[in-house]
Chain A
Amino acid sequence: MSGPRLAHLMAHLTLVATTVFVLFPYAWMVVTSIKPVADVVSFPIIWWPARPTLDNYAAILADPRFLRSLFNSAVVAIAVTGLSLALSIPAAYGLTRLARRGSRPMLIGILASQFFPPMVFFVPFYIILQTVGLLNTLSGLVFAYLSVTLPICTWMIATSLRDIPVEIEEAARIDGCGDIAMIRRIILPIAAPGVVTAGIFAFVLSWQEYIFALLYTTSERAQTAPVLMFYLLGQHQIDYGRLMAAAVLLSIPIAVPFALIQRLYRSGLTDGGIKG
C-alpha cells in the first residue's frame, strides 16, 4: 500500500476508534435505560436486553421531584437565555458599531471577566444571595448564571457584528433609521447565526450547570435537574436503570440545539470563549 493511502487508512481508523470512544458512554446509557432491573444488575453483562422496556422512563417521569426539577431547570435556562440576549445584543451593538473611543478596552474587560475561576464566587454569591433573600430561589440561580453567560454572549455577538459592512448601516442611517430600528431590522437578521449561537450557549450552560445549583438551592422548591441527579446517586440502593433514563431525558434538551448549531461552533464564533 502506498504512503498516502496508508495515511488515509490510519486516519480513518483513528477517527472510527475515537467515534467509538466518544459515543460508547452514551450508547451504554441508552441501553441501560431500557433494561429491566434484572438485566441491569447482571454480571457478566447483558449487552442487549431480551425484553427492552420503558419502565425506567415511566418510573422517573412519575416521580414528582424529577418533574419539578425539570421544570425548574427549564425556567432558569429560559430566563438566563432571555436576559443574556436582552443585555448583550444592545451592548455588543453599542460597543462595536456606535462607540469608537474606549470601546475596545471595555470589550476586552468583558471578555476577561470570564477568567475568574468559579470558586472565587462560591462564598460571595452565597452571602449576597442570603442577604437579599434569594438563596434557594430560581432568581438567585439566574443571577449567578448571568455572571458566566453575559461575557461570552456579548463576545460572540460582538464577533459576528464585526463582519457587517459599515455601508449597510450608513445607508440605513441616511434613510432615517434610528438605533433601535437598526438593531431590529439590520443587525439582528444579519448577525442571526451569532445571536442564535450565543442564545443556545446560554441555554445549554444554565440547563446543565451543577455547582452553583448545588450550593445555592437546598430544597426541592428550587432544585434543578442536575442537582436532583446528585441526590438520586446518594440513595442507598442506586437504581442505575432509572438513573440512566433520567440522564437520557436530561441530555435531550442539549442534544437538539447542539445538533442545530454544531456547524456554527466550528466556524470560529466561539474563539473568545473559555468556559466549557
Chain B
Amino acid sequence: MRALANNPTLRGYLFAAPLMVVLAAAVVLPALYNAVLAFWRYDAMRDNWRFVGAANFTALVDAPAFWNALSVTGIWVVGNVALQLALGLAVALALNTVTSFRALYSAVVMVPWVSSFVIVAVVFLWLYHPDLGVLNDVLTRLGLIDQPVAWLASPGLAQFSLILANTWKFFPLVAITLFTGLQAIPRELSEAATIDGAGRWQTLRYVIVPMLAPSIATAVLLSTIWAFNAFTLSIIMTGGGPLRATEVIGLYIYKVAFDSFDFGLAAAASMVLFVLILAVTLVYLRVADPARGRRG
C-alpha cells in the first residue's frame, strides 16, 4: 500500500487502468477477433462457424464485386483528396491574405466539418433532386443545361456528385490544417522572394508550397484515411448504384456482412482495407515525417 502511495508511476497506471480495460474490450479485442474471423466462414442457415483457412481471401480475389469496390474506392479517394486539397489550399491562402473578418470566415468554413453525415446526405439528396432540386433549377436558369440532369442516376455522374458532397464535408479540415501551416511561414520569406522579382505564382510555387509540404502531407493523409472510411453518403444517396458505380469498399463490406450475412468474408475484406490504410500511413510517415519537416 505504501509502495503504491509513494510510487507515482504505479499510481499513474492505476488511474489509467479503467480506460485501458474499456479500450481493450471495445477496441483491441474486437479488432483481434475480426482478424481471427477472417479465417472462418459463417453459415447463416445452420448458425455455425467453420475454419476455412485463407479461403475468404481467395474468394475475395475471385469476386468481381470486390475488385469493382477497390477500383471505385481508388477513384473515390483520389477524387476526394484532389478536390479537398485544391479547395482547401485556395481557402487557406485566402485566409492567410485577408486581415479583416478572418475569424468570421474561418468559423464559417468549419461548419461542414461538424455537420453530421446523415444531414449532409439528406440535404444533398434534396439539392441534387432531378425534378425538384435547386441545382438543376439554377443551372437551367443560367442556360447551362437544357433539361434536368439526373445527378445520381448515371454511373460517372453519381460518383462525381458524391465526391462533391463528401468534399463539402471534409475540405474544412484541409483548409484549417494548411492555414495553420501557412501561419508558421515567416512573412519575410515571401517578401524577399517578391523583392527578388518573383511573381505571385512563382512565390507560391517555389517558396510557399515547399515550406508548406509537411502540412500538405498531413492534410493528404487525413483526407485519404477519411475517404477510405467514408461510405455513409453512398449508402444513403445511391445505395452503391447505379450498377455498383458508387459501391466503395466500406459499402461492399457492409453489404457482404449484413445483406448476405457472409461475416467471414466481410471480416477478410475489412482486414484488406486495414492493411491498405496502414500501408498508406506508413508510406506517409516515411516520405513526409511532419516532425522532421518542421525541424529541417
A binds B: yes
Is B14 among interface residues, defined by CB-CB distance under 8 A? yes
Q: Contact at A274–B127, with CB atoms within 8 Å?
A: no
Q: How large is the interface on B (under 10, 10 to 19, 20 to 34, 35 or more residues)?
A: 35 or more
What is the chain A residue whose CB lies nearest that of B132?
A43
Q: Contact at A150–B23, with CB atoms within 8 Å?
A: yes
Q: Contact at B22–A146, with CB atoms within 8 Å?
A: yes
Q: Which residues of B contact A87 (CB under 8 A)?
A: 18-19, 22
Is A235 among interface residues, defined by CB-CB distance under 8 A? no
Say which residue of B12, B29, B176, B258 sits within 8 Å of A215 (CB atoms): B258
Q: Contact at A210–B118, with CB atoms within 8 Å?
A: yes
Knowing A127-B263, A207-B116, A247-B119, the reply to whether A116 touches B274 (Cβ < 8 A) is yes
Q: Contact at A251–B116, with CB atoms within 8 Å?
A: yes
Is B137 among interface residues, defined by CB-CB distance under 8 A? yes
Q: Contact at B15–A94, with CB atoms within 8 Å?
A: yes
Binding stretch for chain A, among B94-102, B155-163, B206-214: B94-102
Q: Contact at A11–B257, with CB atoms within 8 Å?
A: no
Q: Which residues of A contact B66 (CB under 8 A)?
A: none
How far apart sit A274 and B225, CA to CA, in the bound complex (Å)? 8
Knowing A15-B94, A229-B122, A276-B226, the reply to whether A123 touches B257 (Cβ < 8 A) is yes
Q: Contact at A210–B116, with CB atoms within 8 Å?
A: yes
Is B39 among interface residues, defined by CB-CB distance under 8 A? no
How far apart sit A250 and B148, CA to CA, in the bound complex (Å)? 30
What is the chain A residue whose CB lies nearest that of B225?
A274
Is A54 among interface residues, defined by CB-CB distance under 8 A? no
Is B126 among interface residues, defined by CB-CB distance under 8 A? yes
Q: Which residues of B contact A19 (CB under 8 A)?
A: 105, 108-109
Q: Contact at A262–B137, with CB atoms within 8 Å?
A: no
Is A254 among interface residues, defined by CB-CB distance under 8 A? yes
A175 to chain B, nearest CB (A): 17
Q: Contact at A124–B12, with CB atoms within 8 Å?
A: no
Is B65 among interface residues, defined by CB-CB distance under 8 A? no
Q: Which residues of B contact A115 (CB under 8 A)?
A: 225, 277-278, 281
Q: Contact at A23–B111, with CB atoms within 8 Å?
A: yes
Q: Which residues of B contact A143 (CB under 8 A)?
A: 26
Binding stretch for chain B, among A59-67, A98-106, A188-196: A98-106
Residues B170-184 near A (CB distance < 8 A): 170, 172-173, 176, 180
Is B143 among interface residues, defined by CB-CB distance under 8 A? no
Q: Which residues of B contact A90 (CB under 8 A)?
A: 15-16, 18-19
Knowing A7-B200, A94-B15, A97-B12, the reply to whether A43 touches B137 (Cβ < 8 A) is yes
How far apart sit A154 and B8, CA to CA, in the bound complex (Å)? 19
Q: Which residues of A contact B236 (CB under 8 A)?
A: 230, 233
Say which residue of B18, B107, B118 sits within 8 Å of A226 (CB atoms): B118
How far apart sit A250 and B87, CA to CA, in the bound complex (Å)? 28
> Size of chain A's interface in residues, with CB distance under 8 A?
89
Q: Contact at A233–B125, with CB atoms within 8 Å?
A: yes
Q: Contact at B91–A14, with CB atoms within 8 Å?
A: yes
Residues A10-39 near B (CB distance < 8 A): 10-12, 14-15, 18-19, 21-23, 25-26, 28-29, 32
Is A71 among interface residues, defined by CB-CB distance under 8 A? no
Q: Contact at B23–A251, with CB atoms within 8 Å?
A: no
Is A75 among interface residues, defined by CB-CB distance under 8 A? no
How far apart sit A98 and B12, CA to CA, in the bound complex (Å)? 5
What is the chain A residue whose CB lies nearest that of B194?
A3
Q: Contact at A151–B23, with CB atoms within 8 Å?
A: yes
Q: Contact at B31–A116, with CB atoms within 8 Å?
A: yes
Q: Contact at A120–B270, with CB atoms within 8 Å?
A: yes
Knowing A119-B270, A127-B263, the reply to whether A94 touches B14 (Cβ < 8 A) is yes
Residues A88-137 near B (CB distance < 8 A): 88, 90-91, 93-95, 97-103, 106, 110, 113, 115-128
How far apart sit A23 and B222, CA to CA, in the bound complex (Å)? 24
Q: Which residues of A contact B134 (CB under 8 A)?
A: 28, 45
How far apart sit A179 and B13, CA to CA, in the bound complex (Å)? 13
B150 to chain A, nearest CB (A): 14
How far apart sit A88 and B108, CA to CA, in the bound complex (Å)? 30
How far apart sit A143 and B23, CA to CA, in the bound complex (Å)? 10
Q: Which residues of A contact B125 (CB under 8 A)?
A: 233
How far apart sit A215 and B235, CA to CA, in the bound complex (Å)? 12
Please, what's the 1-or-0 string for B258-296, where 1 marks a CB less than 8 Å from any CB in chain A?
100001001101110110011001000000000000000
B171 to chain A, nearest CB (A): 9
B248 to chain A, nearest CB (A): 10
Is B124 among interface residues, defined by CB-CB distance under 8 A? yes
Is B131 among interface residues, defined by CB-CB distance under 8 A? yes
Residue contacts A-B, CB under 8 angstroms, 10 given: A15-B98, A28-B123, A95-B12, A110-B23, A117-B274, A119-B249, A120-B270, A147-B27, A210-B232, A243-B126
Those 8 A-B pairs whose CB atoms lie nearest each other, nearest first = A99-B12, A94-B15, A208-B116, A98-B12, A91-B19, A11-B97, A94-B12, A124-B30
For the complex with contacts A93-B12, A122-B270, A240-B129, 17 further pairs of A-B residues with Cβ separation under 8 Å are A3-B200, A14-B93, A18-B91, A19-B105, A21-B168, A22-B108, A22-B112, A26-B123, A93-B15, A98-B15, A103-B16, A120-B34, A120-B274, A122-B257, A123-B267, A150-B26, A266-B106
